[in-house]
Amino acid sequence: MSVVPTPHPVATKVDAVVFDCDGLLVDTESCWTRAEKALFEQHGLAFGLAEKKMLIGRTPTALGVILARHFERPGDEAALTAALLGRVQQEVEQGVATLPGAVELVRACAARVPVAVASNSPRPLLRLTLESTGLAELLPVTVSVDDVAEPKPAPDIYLAACAAVGAVPDRSVAFEDSHTGLASAQAAGLAPVFVPSLPDGVGDTGGAWHLDSLTEPAVHEWAAALVTA
């Protein structure tokens, strides 16, 4: 008796695949976490999972607002943002690694359909991250928070990434690791794949294809079957 393969929950006939960067493709979340922890400690505060959840996936502007409120430093939003970004850049410059399965997945997708990056990071930090890991060659099309009017969770970044590669959003796929990014991709109409970077970060994914990591065989089987819509 032949076995009928289980269909993947995301279509393989697509216009494009769009990836988030931090915490999904590259282990920059550890850089952010070390920078955040150091900044909290500088202000005499503890940093744990609750604080990480409060900050993950946020834009630099939003981070400044959150930090100023949490540190009870009204008016210091810009200074706190600059301090945090400076620490993160120092961490990235010391070296970052791609996450398991990321390079293989991006390479497989890029060989078959257009690909792009859609990130809430500022452009200089995004470029540094991609170049330091070698992903810039595989992902030359990037959209950062600096390129749009509204950051994630608004749909602007994903809409701009699709436009940059000539893709229709509702015929495209997004890979995300945070709920902020997931909401952005879903608002833009892309089919979402969720690979949470926090240990208990699944929650309500709104029907997204949930993966524990980019090493799962199912996602590589899906990538190998991709064709343009």
- pLDDT at position 204 is 67
- pLDDT at position 169 is 98
Residues 6+ apart with CB under 8 A from 81: 60, 61, 63, 64, 67
CATH code at 100? 3.40.50.1000
| Residue whose C-alpha is closest to residue 147's, from 158, 131, 132 | 158
Q: pLDDT digits over 15-49, tens only? A: 999 999 999 999 988 888 999 999 999 999 999 98
- Asked whether residue 34 is domain-assigned, the answer is yes
Are 122 and 146 in contact by the 8 Å Cβ rule? The answer is: yes
- pLDDT at position 8 is 75
- pLDDT at position 1 is 35
Q: Is residue 61 located within the same domain as residue 172?
A: no
Q: pLDDT digits over 44-102, tens only? A: 999 998 998 898 878 888 899 999 999 999 999 999 999 998 998 898 888 889 999 99
Q: Is residue 213 very low, low, confident or very high in pLDDT (cuts 50, 70, 90)?
A: very high
User: To which H or E segment does residue 204 belong?
Assistant: none
Q: Give the total number of structural domains in the chain.
A: 2
Q: Is residue 19 located within the same domain as residue 39?
A: no
- Asked whether residue 187 is domain-assigned, the answer is yes
Looking up tokens 């064709």, which residue turns up? Answer: 227
Residue 209: give the domain boundaries: 13-27+96-228
Indicate if the alpha-carbon torsion angle 177, 100, 143, 50 is positive or negative.
Answer: positive
- Asked whether residue 100 is domain-assigned, the answer is yes
CATH code at 86? 1.10.150
Q: Which of 93, 110, 132 is the last residue of a domain?
A: 93
- Asked whether residue 148 is domain-assigned, the answer is yes
